[in-house]
Structure formats: C-alpha cells, structure tokens
Amino acid sequence: MKIKLHNFKFLMVLGAFVGTMSMVQAQTSLSAVQKLQDQQKITNVKISKERGTPSLIKLSNSQTHRVEPQEASLFLREALGLRETTTLAEKRAHVTPSGSKVVKYQEYFKGVKVEHGIYNALSKDNALKAITLEHYELKDNFNVAASLSEDNALNYALNFVGATEYAWDYYNFLKLNETDPARLTQLDAAVNSVYPTGELVIVDNYNEPGISLRLAYKFNIYAAEPLYRADIYVDAVNGEILLADQDIKHAAELNNEIAERRKMSSYAMVQAMGETRYAGTRNFETTLLSADASDPVNPLPERYVLDGTITVNAFNPDSQTIESVTVLNETRSYDGIGGVPLNVGGTIPSYEITDGSSRLEEGQLNVEIADNFWSADEHYRDRFETPADNYPVDNEFDNDDVALDAHWGSEVVIRYWADRHNRWSFDGAGEKITSFVHYGDGYDNAFYSSSTMTYGDGSYQGGTNPNGSFAPLMSMDVAAHEIGHGVCDFTADLVYARQSGGMNEGFSDIWAAAVEAYVLEEIDSTLPYQPYGIGEQIDERDGGIQPGEDNPDMRALRFMDDPNAAGDPECFEGVNWIDTSEAGCPAPNLGNDQCGVHSNSGVLNKWFYLLVEGSGQVFTPGRDKRAADDEVNDNGDPYSVEGLGFQIAEQIAFKGEVLLTPNATFSDMRDASILVAQQDYGVDSNEEIQTTNAWFGICVGESYITPDPNQVFFSSANANSLQEKNNDTGCNTFRTYTVNVATVQVNPAVTVTLDTSASTAELGVDFDISTTTLDLEGTATESFEVTIYNDALVEEDELISILFDFMGETKTQVINVLDDDVVPAIGASVVEIMPIEEFASSAIPNDWEEIIVVDPSMNKWYYNGAGTESGRAYISYTSPVGSTNSAIYESNSPSHVILKTPELNALGLNDVRVTFDWEAGGELDPGNPAFDYGQLVYSFDGVNFEEGSERFALEEDGIMSGTFDEIIPELANTRFFLGFRWFNDTNATTSAFSFAIDNVHVEALPAAVETELNATTSNTVNTNNDVYFASNDSGSIIARIEGATQDLGCVEMTLTGSGTDLITNANAGVDRSSKVIEITADGFDASSATYDLTLFMTTDELANFNSMADLQIMKVEGSDIDATTSSNTVITGSMLEDLTAAEGYATFKGTFTGFSSFAIVQPVTASVKDVLISSVSLYPSPVAQGGLVNITAKDIVINSASVFDVRGAKVIEKKFAGNQQIQLSVATLQSGFYFVRLNNDANKTFKFIVK
C-alpha cells in the first residue's frame, strides 16, 4: 500500500512525475488550557485542532504584565507547565525591517529532540508580543531508549526508499581506481558526508490520525537512481516508517577543482556584463583567474569564471546587528549529465563556466575573449536557427547564455532578500549559493537541494524536439522559487506534505512573483515579466509564445491571479482542491504529489495576489484564464479586498512565514499574517482589514467586520467555564483568570461599575475580582482578574455573573465554576461508574452521541442489528446495495466516526477499569499499520480525544475478536467521556467486516484509608463546613471535619505515627494505636472552636484491639501523644461504623475543642491475670496516689517486690522476710501505669494503676 517517496522540492511536477477535520489526540487537558488562561500576561490562546495543544499565544500590552524578550523561554515553561523532562533550546533569530524580532526555540524531551516541536517568540519594542508554537506533550514515562539498533533501522529506511544506487556508491566507485592518498582522503570525507547516520528523535507517526508520538531514528537518505533525498523517520522499536520528509543538509562537495576553489579568495572579484537569454544585457559579479600552465597538455589562460561575491546590508545573527556582509554566488555546469547533483570528479563532474577559455566538451567554435563581456556570440552556441540545427545533435547544454540567467538571477535574489527583508542569503547566515546548470539531457525541471539550485535545459530545445515542453529553466522566477525553498527550510521548515507542503510551494511562488516585481521596480521596468505567472518565460507548451506578447494562449506552470486556469484551487477545499485530510490522503507520496502540494499552493498564491492587487482586477492574458477576478469565492460568498502593493504584502507574507511551525495549516498562516499586520500597522488598521479579507476571499476564516463606534463587549475568548481545582496543594489555594473587555471607538471616556450580585458563588468566599470599576476609552482591551478559591467543599457547580451598564445596555459575563470536590467512596468494594451497556435497542443509548469527524460519512454506528449483530453496536452503511443490519463497511467512503458515552464521573476514584467485547475486521496491510480499524478513545471535554487502546483490526489470521479489560490510569479522579472510534481510508479493494462492540462496562476502586507515615494534607475549614482530608501524595483518606462552631482557618493533618501495634500509655491508662494523627489549625478562634472529627482506620490497624465497640479517640495537646496528663488529655467519642468485614476499615467520631495529636485507644481494665494468678491477688487497682497496694500470695513466699514504670525503669524495690501478704506504699509515684514483679521472677509480674 505504500508508494515510495521521491520528493525533491521541484518547481513543478510533469511527465513521469504526474500521475475535514482530522482526529485529534488531545495532548493538553482542560486544566492545562485553563492554566494558560490563568496567566494574567496572556490575552488570547488558540488551540490547534490537529494537535489539541496551543498554536498561538498572545500577550498583554500592559506594563504591569509585560514580559521581556529574553524571558520568553522561562515564560513558556511557566505558561505551558513544562516539567524538568522538557527543555527549550534557542535555535535561531530573525530581525525584520520594522524592528520586530522572532526567536525560534526547539523542544527536547529527556535530551532527545522533539521533531517539529518549535516555538517562535515574537517581540517588538522590547516586549514579548506573541508566540506561535507546535507544542507536543509527553508523559514522564515516555521511553527514550531504542529497541532497534541503528544498523537495522537504516536497513528499514533503505528498503523503504528502494533505490538501485545511492550517493555514497558513487564515491566508493571512484575509490576503486584511485591511488592518490590525498584524493582518497577527499573521497572518504565525501562518503562520510552523505552516508546516513541515525539521530534519535521523537516524532509524530504520520501514518496514524491525530498525534501519536514515537521514538525514531532520523536518516537523511540521498539516492542516485532514482534521484531522491529525504529525511526518513524509522520507529526505533518496530522499524515502521513514520514519515518521509524533504530535509536539506549541506553535503561536503568535492570535484576536480577543489584545490583551485580554495584559492578563489585570492583572486580578483570583478563586475561583468553579459547577454542573458531571458533578461537582455545584465551586470553581475565574477572572478578573474590567472593563467595556469601547470598542466602542459591543457594549459589554462587568464579567464573569468561565474563566481561572484555580493555585498549587501543585512542582519548578522552573530553580531545581532544590520551591517555590510557578503554572499558568495557561483554557477557551474553539468554539461548535460544527470544523476546525483554532487560535485565529485569522475562520474558526474561539474565544471567552471568561463569567459576567455573553453573545454573541448563545450564544442566552442568561436574564440572567447577574456574581456569579462559574456557575449551571445561566445556563449549562445546552438541556436537551432537552420534545419540542420536539430536536437539532440545540437543541444541546449552547449549554451551558457542561460547560465548567465541563473547567475544573475541568484545575485538579484540575494539582493532582494537583503534589501526587502534584511536577510543575509537564504539561510539568514550568509550561506553561499551554488547553481548547477545543464543538468541532464533535456531535463524538464529545476530543484533545490542543500545550498544548491539545479536547473535542467528543458525538452523544448528551440522547438526542434517534437515532444518538448520547456525552454531552459533558468528564468528569474524559477531561480527565486528554488531559493525560496531554502528560505522556507531556514524559517518555518514546513513539512513537505499536506497543507504545510502546499504552503511550502506557495511561498516559493510568492517569492518568484515578489522578485520579478522587485526587478521591474528597482532594475528594469521594460522586462516582459508577468509576476503572477510562474515560469511564463520557460513554458513552451504554447509553442513559444512570450509573456510580452499579451497572447491569451500563453501558458505558465501556475497562474497566481487565476489558479483555476492551470487546474489549481484558489479556495480552501474548493474547486480543484486536493484532499489533505488523513482519511482522504492517508500516506503522502510522490504519486499523490505529497497530498497535492503543487496544486494546493494555488490557495496561498491567490491570497497573496489579492493582498497585493486587490479584488475585482483585470487579469493578464493567459490560457484558460478569466478576464478578471469575480469577487465571489467558491463558497458563493462575495468578498472585497483593497490591494496593499508588493512591498507591504511581501512583508506580511514573509513575517507570517517566519512565525509558522513545521506542520502549520492555512488557518495558522491566517493567524500569523493577521498578527503581523496588527503588530506592524496597528489593530483595526487597513493592513489588518485587507489581510483578513484576502483570507476570506480564498475561503479561510471570516471577513473583517468593521465595528460601529462606542462598542463595548466582553471578549469571546474569555473562559465560560473555570476549574476550582488548581495544581497547588494546601490551604488558601486559588486560580486567577483574566477577563478581557474590548472597546471600539469609545468617546467620550466612561467609567463603569462591575456588579457581581447575581452570582450564585459568594464574593469574598468563593471568588474575588481585582477591581470594581473599569475606565473605558477609545479602541483598546481592558482587563481585570477573577480569583477562584479552592474551598474543598462538596457542592454544586456555581455561577459567577459579572455585569455592567454601558449606554443603556447591560453587558454580562457568566462563568461556570466547576467543583472538583466529592464525597469520597472509601474501602475495597468496586464502584460502578457506568452499568453494562448491552445495546438492546436499535436506537442509540440514552445520552450517548455519535460524532461524525469526517463529514459526510457513509459508514456510521448502528445498534442491535440482525443475526450476530443482535445486541451489539457496530459500523455499517446505507446505500442502494448496503444494509444497516450487519457490520459491513463501505471501503470507498472515507470515514471517521466516534460513538461517545455520556460524561462519566470518577472523581475520588482510582484504577478506572474499562471492559467491553469487540470484533474487528478492516483492511489487511501486512507489515504496516492498519488504516481501517476500531479503537477505544477517551476525552475530558467531549471534543478532543486521546488513544485509550491499540487498534482493533484485521490480521493475517482473519477477523479478530476479544475482550478489552484494562485499567486506564489517566482517568482516575476525573470526569471523562469514552469513545469508540472507527476510521477507514479509501484504499481497501472491497467492502468487509467492520467493527462491533458489546457489554461496555466501567468501574473503579474507591479511595483507600491512609496508613503511610508522614502522609500529610491541609484544607481550609470555615464554620459548619464539611471537609474530607485526603493525603496529598496518594489521595487516601485521613479524616473528616464537620460542624465547626468557628472558622478553623488552615487545618493541616500529618501521620506522625503508623503501624498496627498497640502501645500502652500508662499515664492515660489506655492502649493506643500506633497510628497517630497530628492536627493543627491557624484560625484566630480555632483553639476555642468545637467541631466533630471522624478518623478512618484500616482493619489491620485495629486488629490488636480487644473490642472495637469500646474504642474511643484520645486527643493530647502537643506533638507527643504519650505526654499525657489529666489536664491535656481528652478521651471521648465512639465507633461510628464498623466496615472492616466488607470494606476493610472502620470510622470513629468524637466532638473536640482545640487541636493537637489524636489516636484510637482502649482503656486498660483489670483482668483475671491482673488480680488473681497462681493465687496472687492485687488490690485496689487503680490505687489512690499516696495509698497502699495490698498483695496476697497463697502458694508462694514473697521475698522481694520491685516496681517498674512504663519505660522499664525500677522505681521501688523492697525486701520481705518470706511473707505471703505484703503492702507497698505508692506515695512516691505519680499518676500512671506500673508493673510489680515478685521475687525477681518475670512470670510473677502484674499491672496496677496509680490514679
């Protein structure tokens, strides 16, 4: 099913090269989005539909919330809540002529690069203004250790490419017959420069819908036959090819003239004049080389070569200033040889192009004069002017006048980028531009690779080739287009597929038009350029019609003003649009033009045309073109745009490109370009209006609506629902949200009063606002903060209503505060979250919902069908021959549907277990991921879904079935939705069994009782609150406080003791639990407040007590539970519930005043052993302080008696003369528990109490 990619970035796709909404894996939870909204520095956040993470963050312009540009990385860490496992590294910077600066950051996870994880920080006037980003969330347990070796991964990559010969094979071939050690060293270096080495990265799997991040090896594969170069991403676990993407890298280039080129810097750089093919006589930079007689067979005279040094003023990233810098520009010839465009002597050498000498291979008949005037007589050798001048004997590769076009064209492009954009060559860092001409024999294309441009001579051959289409492809717009790909690689680095690939091509067309317009304005206005025709000078499919002839039959590769004329779309998803969705184009490849990159570029082209010229303009003549723009888009919507001209439009376009991220969409470019217009020209400026309307003209977004004056409204970006819960633990935690109020031309200024009296939430208790008045004037955005307090109370969701009156109208913002607190389920019994759904009805179950992701969709969910589908939900379709009674799907209809459950509540619950029976068919695709499959997904907002299971699909053994039974950790303590996804592309050959489910059941485990030493938690408790205390780390339950008579303030609980042993407290006369809970409260009246306390104890913690019915709670003031006295100890309360048999715990409740340490106790009582063992009696017990203890022994003689305290210290020792009855005075003993031992015999030890 895979078609191998052969994807250089070509000017066009000809000859052999011709042939909705996607599912989102939501990476960012609602709480993460709300954390962004919490930031007072942020005014607007846009979430990517494709990734579920932020794609645009706009920052406040206020001085109070200003962020310095150098703080961008730190701000991103805080705003996105990045953990220590994720780092951001600065990649490059760009400064525009208007003074704005964009710094690009790269994401890394545990030191591994996250491919395409890019953050562009836009600043101006020393303040951070906005960030465009492609953010990927990874869980801490994401594995960055490869299972597959690098060598095995490379084999997968090479098998995928399937080339017969690779670039390094050429170098190895040359080494076979080479004996010169220096040359062998050069060739070894050349092999190393192109032989692929694997870089471990994290990248999205482009074979799957939504986001599925994988650890991968990234290889740059350079093939010779067929010609191919791309970055291949190989799954580092299973070898799956995740993505094949054009990736340009500068390879070391060696050729016969290496030593000579190293000497170039010592030669004179001089300005030349030459007669070009397409632009007449032009000036350009060359180099004068001295005569060289070192080779007596082929001595070289003094000569000029096409190797120039261009001086421009541009931004230097090293000095961070705009200064005079140079760019090298060289043009060389392949002399009609094809293959890998690498300069290595031997198999595919390249050659100098000279004035003043010629090689035998050039077939030069006229003597060249080394005067640096490159005349047509010298360099335009085969003109096809007589019947004898026929291809292939005469050939364009003999003509170097077109090399002058390429050389001059590159020089002009260098100057354009410096003059208009402060850019120092295409990479922004002064990279040399090398152009190779005469590539292949009649090659009908041109392409960019690494820092080089490569041009074919075209098959037209002066009209003598009957099947010819193109003249030599060295025209100005072709050069600007190809170098534009280099600009893209060093700015947005757009992935060469789907929408991003279409914009990659579109931007190159934009720069082709912009450079031609620059030439007409700055160099020569008489040249016959038509900027909106791409390749109009070299497209000879019209028989040689030139653009200056104004002939309606003139052809071009693409028409930017009227893309439909060349079969391209001018409207997003309109006429001629190539489907870029994952369902319609699941695998970008050469056969589908990477999902239509050359065709869909027409959308961006038309946008730029409208931005420059405006709507309703007359078109230049061309084949199949309309007379003029009709100002109605493919949606039937009328539009109107006033042109801004090239210089403003190209600034907006380029700055927008700089702000894009690798997988950007047309919608992202709309956001970026409008942002640029706002920053450079002002909010509501004419530039913003026309930029917005131009996008509307091509069916992307809405038109600009000019507001009436004296308009005031709450921003639509304000959050309508806010979480009470926050990421902090402890008391007095809160979230702060920014609420924006927009004003339009408010005059005169007015002050409004904010009214919250209609709220069900209580001001000062549940929330606060930062101000009660707002000053409104002009066109601006005013803001205030709403603080939501996390009160730990189990209550209904509450509403905050904020309103004010303006010019007789009431403006209202209503915010729903979502409570996260719940009465916890505790113990061991499984809690049923959703009863078993058996699909017993043919109707969709109550409160379930079907989401059609790809609309329209023939395949949908049906219920309780016939036969085996009875009592199941299943995928089927309706058509003249289809049936909804069986699980058979229509494979020719792309589908993406989700059957969604009602919202399920697992707050306070752990180990959420999902079970269901399933049966799955789909499409058999051995060795590759299934493209037709079912899958369990889940969502926290009902819109964005994450994968909850592997795919259920057909395997080699046939239709698969089973029972899914798994715990999904991410669902614990959340509200969530489950979904059952069916996805199919259109590549299966026949309809087949689809996907069916039954017996869907969801359950979870309740919270446990906390037993861990040092477990802690805290909550604020006010009068009459009912608050459960669960430990911060595990969520296990410690205690409950209710009915407080005063505000307790912040109540903190900590387990200062743990275990199952009983510990005797002699002073209190009790046996206590090893588990001790210290409770403190900082409220002003907390020490005098009375409250009810419930403690939770496990069965094990209670096992050694005699009778739970007799147990009570002991409170001891202070942190030492055993430092009991009659004044600091209270023993009260009783067992509330004995659930030890069913749930493994019991509860004890008592009423207390004040706080300290608490434990469960049982009183020590006299037992038979205490008072009568071996005829020994002891009384009274307890004995009054200062009294006597009487001991009588009937069967033994008492010779001595020793008394010990609870610490084991001997406090009394007394001798007796063999008596059977004695008395001991306890006058010296304090109240407490003691032991008496007779005759120093451990078996004759008895307890007594002094009270």
Catalytic residues: 482, 598
d(CA 843, CA 551): 64
Return all residues near 1062 (Cβ < 8 A) that are at least 6 apart.
Answer: 1071, 1072, 1073, 1074, 1104, 1105
Find the angle CA(146)-CA(152)-CA(158) to the nearest 5 degrees.
Answer: 125
Residue 574, φ and ψ in degrees, nearest 5: -100, -150
d(CA 17, CA 592): 10
Residue 320: left if φ>0, alpha if ψ -120 to 50, beta else—which one? left
DSSP string, 935-996: EEEEESSSSSEEE-S--B--BTTBSEEEEEEEE-GGGTTSEEEEEEEEEE-S--SS-EE-EE
Residue 499 DSSP symbol: H
Return all residues near 110 (Cβ < 8 A) that are at least 6 apart.
Answer: 85, 142, 144
d(CA 996, CA 961): 9
Element (H, E) at 1169: helix 1168-1171
591 closest CA partner among 16, 1206, 1194: 16
397 closest CA partner among 324, 474, 299: 474
Beta strands in 792-858 (DSSP E): 798-806, 809-818, 831-837, 849-852
d(CA 660, CA 1105): 69
Give CA 41 to chain center in angstroms.
Answer: 21
The answer to whether the peptide bond before residue 299 is cis (omega within 30 degrees of 0) is no
d(CA 510, CA 561): 11
d(CA 88, CA 383): 57
3-state secondary structure of 777: strand
Residue 238, φ and ψ in degrees, nearest 5: -120, 0
Q: Which two tokens stand for residue 21?
A: 């909404």
559 closest CA partner among 581, 534, 589, 585: 534
Find the angle CA(159)-CA(165)-CA(168) to the nearest 5 degrees.
Answer: 100
CA 51 to each of CA 48, 376, 491, 667, 831: distance values in angstroms, whole numbers, following the listed order: 5, 56, 21, 14, 33
d(CA 690, CA 702): 12
d(CA 613, CA 928): 48
The answer to whether the peptide bond before residue 1006 is cis (omega within 30 degrees of 0) is no
Find the angle CA(1009)-CA(1010)-CA(1015) to the nearest 5 degrees.
Answer: 165
Residue 1059: left if φ>0, alpha if ψ -120 to 50, beta else—which one? left
Alpha-helical (H) ranges within 263-400 are: 376-379
Cβ distance 654 to 484 under 8 Å? no
3-state secondary structure of 378: helix
166 closest CA partner among 224, 229, 221: 224
Length of the chain in terms of residues written: 1251
Q: Which residue has the tokens 């032009």?
A: 282
- Return the percent helix, strand and coil in the chain, to nearest 5: 20, 35, 45
